[in-house]
């Protein structure tokens, strides 16, 4: 790495063009002076702080304090910190789904980083889609950047139960639907699930993406898991500001950190964590921005050799704060050292191998198991292929019931989210515990825009019989906090004409995790005949971002990015 903060252009970077560069610099400094900056400050290199705070984002409500800590680090290192907002994606506050707006946020980050005068940038995010959006935008912008995350919530308590959003919210809701707890108790739990600032306390999408960002080297060691409310989170923010200053004039742009080797390291860590299925989408999109593939067949190869080592909810017993105090991502990576690219570079200058060697020796083995004694011998995710999913589908086997891994059964098909809502709890629904549930038209090209609806509820009449799990298949996603034998991201999706849209109730489907396959047992001639009379329900729009989304969205295996954003990124900061 080479770096020289004297190469920072500061306020003179990317001058607005009035045809007279000297006038442009004079005018910009004049307007900057109106904010009370001294001449000395305006001569300093600038570190931008791109943050995603919003009144509609509970995970980020502590960002003002974190931003001040980043500023301290920048100022102490001789720079000028300048914060600026971008779009914020609060997971549960967006309709139809936050994924629809991830690409919009990435474009906001890319363009504002490129358009405004800064020499490096701190990316401050946390809630599920904000971190991948920031990484995608930063790759495309090509400026030296470092990620800082919100950190996980601390857990709450209800009676004898330890609570963490959002796996426990699903657990209690399932009990409520089954009639095991009453309205008063579910109301009480509702008020206790999310008790602090920060992201979901379990290994959901936010925690998974924070962990994988650390595994790729885009943040300092131990940066993923520090609780949001800890003073250590503020110290990490201050240190991030210092590191951002050190990046000025260096060649450590995001594309030079998030290489093919770094992304493969992230996939390996994802498998060992039993992490969120959403991470597959986001890693594919991040890789695509860097001009790299994310091959789902390669994911299967890695999954076959990578053990699950981390005992966190939704698949285990512990929470993200426990993982941090157990040794964090460096301890996990140390157990995986023989499977990792140890020479991959990090944003702090050392290699992944160096980080592993520097990690503390003590590990809480209740939370992070040794590779010699894993929770399970193979990775948490697998990709499935077959005539139902020609381009692939994803199953989180670490969250599923192994008794359902090899199964042939009748399917009960729901044609849309509205159809699901209307019929799932109908006492006359023709469904048994041995059936598979299928949801259509919830993929990326549908009007639903691929929500976290793949966690289809167990029909109420079965839930009240004690049924906890069934095979569920869809072109939707599911929350990383969810669990069950659920096949997701079926591609191509129904709305674009994929085979899943041809299924009818009563068809039979064969699932084989062993063979990595998912097949509809309907003859080719019958499927061809159905296709002749079938009109896919691809969403359209007349204007604005919805029109751009409808025209450009890619399928799940390509990360649901926009086609025109994929490609080789800028490798250096430029002028």
Q: What is the DSSP string of 384-441?
A: EEETTEEEEEEEEGGGS-GGGSEEEEEEEEE-SHHHHHHHTT-TT----TTSEEEE-S
Distance of CA 115 to the CA centre of its chain: 26
User: Which has the closest alpha carbon to 478: 490, 466, 468, 467?
Assistant: 490
Q: Would residue 387 be called left, alpha or beta, if left means φ above 0 and alpha means ψ between -120 and 50 degrees?
A: alpha
- Per-residue buried b or exposed e for 476-503, using 16+ beta carbons within 10 Å of the residue's own CB: bbbbbbbbbbbbbbbbbbbbbbbbbbbb
* Residue given tokens 């102490």 in the structure block: 76
User: Which has the closest alpha carbon to 153: 316, 327, 319?
Assistant: 319
d(CA 22, CA 19): 9
**Which residues are CB-contacts of 422 (< 8 A; sequence separation ≥ 6)?**
none
Instruction: Tell me phi and psi for residue 413, to 5 degrees.
Output: -105, 135
**Which residues are CB-contacts of 306 (< 8 A; sequence separation ≥ 6)?**
268, 271, 272, 336, 339, 378, 379
d(CA 273, CA 64): 31
| Tens place of pLDDT per residue across the chain (575 aa) | 445 655 679 999 999 999 999 999 999 999 999 999 999 999 999 999 999 999 999 999 999 999 999 999 999 999 999 999 999 999 999 999 999 999 999 999 999 999 999 999 999 999 999 999 999 999 999 999 999 999 999 999 999 999 888 888 888 998 999 999 999 999 999 999 998 999 999 999 999 999 999 999 999 999 999 999 999 999 999 999 999 999 999 999 999 999 999 999 999 999 999 999 999 999 999 999 999 999 999 999 999 999 999 999 999 999 999 999 999 999 999 999 999 999 999 999 999 999 999 999 999 999 999 999 999 999 999 999 999 999 999 999 999 999 999 999 999 999 999 999 999 999 999 999 999 999 999 999 999 999 999 999 999 999 999 999 999 999 999 999 889 999 999 999 999 999 999 999 999 999 999 999 999 999 999 999 999 989 999 999 999 999 999 999 999 999 999 999 998 655 443 33
Q: Please say whether the beta carbons of 488 and 478 come within 8 A.
A: yes
Query: Please, how many CA atoms are within 13 Å of residue 482, restricted to the half-sphere of its CB?
Result: 23
With H, G, I as helix, E, B as strand and everything else as coil, classify residue 323: helix
Q: Please say whether the beta carbons of 170 and 201 come within 8 A.
A: no
Q: How many residues does the chain have?
A: 575
> Alpha helix locations (H) across 178-230?
183-192, 205-215
Tens-digit pLDDT profile for residues 361-371: 999 999 999 99
Question: What integer pLDDT is reported at residue 575 of this predicted model?
Answer: 38
d(CA 484, CA 472): 8
Q: Rounded to whole angstroms, what are the CA distances from 52 to 6, 58, 82?
A: 29, 11, 14
pTM surpassing 0.75? yes
- Per-residue buried b or exposed e for 271-292, using 16+ beta carbons within 10 Å of the residue's own CB: bbbbbbbbbbbbbbbbbbbbeb
Q: What is the DSSP string of 99-119?
A: HHHHHHHHHHHHHHHHHS--S
d(CA 319, CA 508): 38
Distance of CA 407 to the CA centre of its chain: 30
**Token pair listed for 412:** 């009960």
Tens-digit pLDDT profile for residues 377-395: 999 999 999 999 999 999 9
For residue 396, how many other CB atoms are within 10 A of its CB? 25
Domains of the chain (ranges; CATH) run 5-154+196-358 (3.40.50.2300), 156-192 (no CATH), 384-543 (3.50.30.80)
d(CA 17, CA 198): 41
**Which residues are CB-contacts of 36 (< 8 A; sequence separation ≥ 6)?**
none
d(CA 562, CA 553): 5
- Using a 10 angstrom Cβ sphere, with 0-12 exposed, 13-18 middle and 19 or more buried, the burial of residue 389 is buried
User: Which has the closest alpha carbon to 172: 152, 157, 154, 190?
Assistant: 190
DSSP label at residue 145: E
**Token pair listed for 291:** 């001009």
Helices and strands per DSSP (H, E), number in the chain: 20, 14
With H, G, I as helix, E, B as strand and everything else as coil, classify residue 373: coil
Instruction: Tell me phi and psi for residue 395, to 5 degrees.
Output: -130, 130
């Amino acid at each position: 790495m080479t770096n020289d903060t004297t190469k920072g252009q500061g306020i003179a970077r990317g001058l607005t063009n009035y045809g007279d560069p000297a006038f442009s610099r004079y005018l910009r400094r004049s307007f900057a002076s109106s904010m009370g900056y001294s001449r000395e400050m305006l001569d300093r290199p600038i570190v931008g702080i791109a943050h995603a705070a919003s009144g509609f984002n509970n995970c980020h409500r502590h960002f003002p304090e974190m931003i001040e800590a980043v500023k301290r680090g920048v100022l102490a290192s001789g720079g000028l910190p300048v914060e600026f907002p971008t779009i914020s994606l609060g997971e549960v506050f967006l309709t139809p789904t936050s994924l629809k707006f991830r690409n919009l946020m990435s474009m906001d980050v890319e363009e504002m980083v490129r358009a405004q005068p800064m020499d490096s940038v701190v990316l401050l995010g946390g809630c599920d889609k904000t971190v991948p959006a920031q990484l995608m935008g930063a790759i495309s912008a090509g400026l030296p950047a470092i990620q800082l995350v919100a950190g996980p919530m601390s857990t709450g308590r209800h009676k004898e139960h330890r609570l963490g959003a959002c796996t426990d919210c699903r657990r209690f809701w399932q009990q409520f639907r089954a009639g095991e707890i009453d309205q008063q108790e579910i109301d009480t739990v509702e008020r206790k699930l999310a008790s602090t600032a920060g992201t979901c306390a379990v290994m959901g999408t936010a925690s998974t993406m924070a962990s994988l960002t650390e595994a790729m080297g885009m943040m300092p060691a131990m940066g993923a898991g520090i609780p949001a409310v800890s003073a250590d989170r503020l110290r990490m923010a201050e240190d991030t500001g210092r590191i951002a200053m050190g990046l000025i004039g260096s060649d450590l742009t995001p594309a030079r950190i998030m290489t093919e080797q770094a992304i493969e390291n992230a996939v390996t860590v994802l498998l060992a964590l039993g992490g969120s299925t959403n991470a597959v989408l986001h890693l594919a999109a991040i890789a695509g921005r860097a001009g790299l593939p994310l091959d789902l067949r390669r994911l299967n190869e890695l999954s076959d050799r990578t053990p699950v080592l981390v005992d966190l909810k939704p698949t285990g017993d512990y929470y993200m704060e426990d993982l941090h105090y157990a040794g964090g991502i460096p301890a996990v990576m140390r157990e995986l050292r023989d499977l990792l690219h140890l020479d991959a570079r990090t944003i702090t200058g050392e290699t992944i191998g160096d980080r592993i060697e520097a990690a503390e020796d003590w590990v809480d083995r209740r939370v992070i198991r040794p590779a010699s004694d894993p929770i399970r011998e193979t990775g948490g995710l697998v990709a499935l292929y077959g005539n139902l999913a020609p381009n692939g589908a994803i199953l989180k086997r670490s969250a599923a019931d192994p008794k359902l891994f090899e199964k042939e059964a009748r399917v009960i098909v729901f044609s849309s989210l509205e159809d699901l809502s209307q019929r799932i709890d109908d006492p006359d629904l023709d469904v048994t515990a041995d059936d598979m549930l299928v949801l259509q038209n919830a993929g990326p090209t549908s009007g639903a825009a691929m929500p976290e609806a793949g966690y289809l509820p167990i029909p109420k009449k079965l839930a009240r019989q004690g049924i906890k799990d069934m095979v569920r298949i869809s072109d939707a996603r599911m929350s990383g906090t969810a669990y069950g034998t659920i096949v997701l991201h079926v591609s191509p999706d129904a709305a674009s004409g994929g085979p899943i849209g041809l299924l009818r109730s009563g068809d039979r489907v064969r699932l084989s995790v062993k063979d990595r396959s998912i097949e509809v047992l309907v003859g080719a001639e019958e499927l061809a005949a159905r296709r002749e009379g079938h009109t896919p329900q691809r969403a359209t729009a007349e204007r604005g971002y919805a029109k751009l989304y409808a025209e450009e969205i890619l399928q799940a295996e390509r990360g649901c990015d926009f086609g025109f954003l994929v490609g080789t990124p800028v490798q250096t900061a430029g002028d």
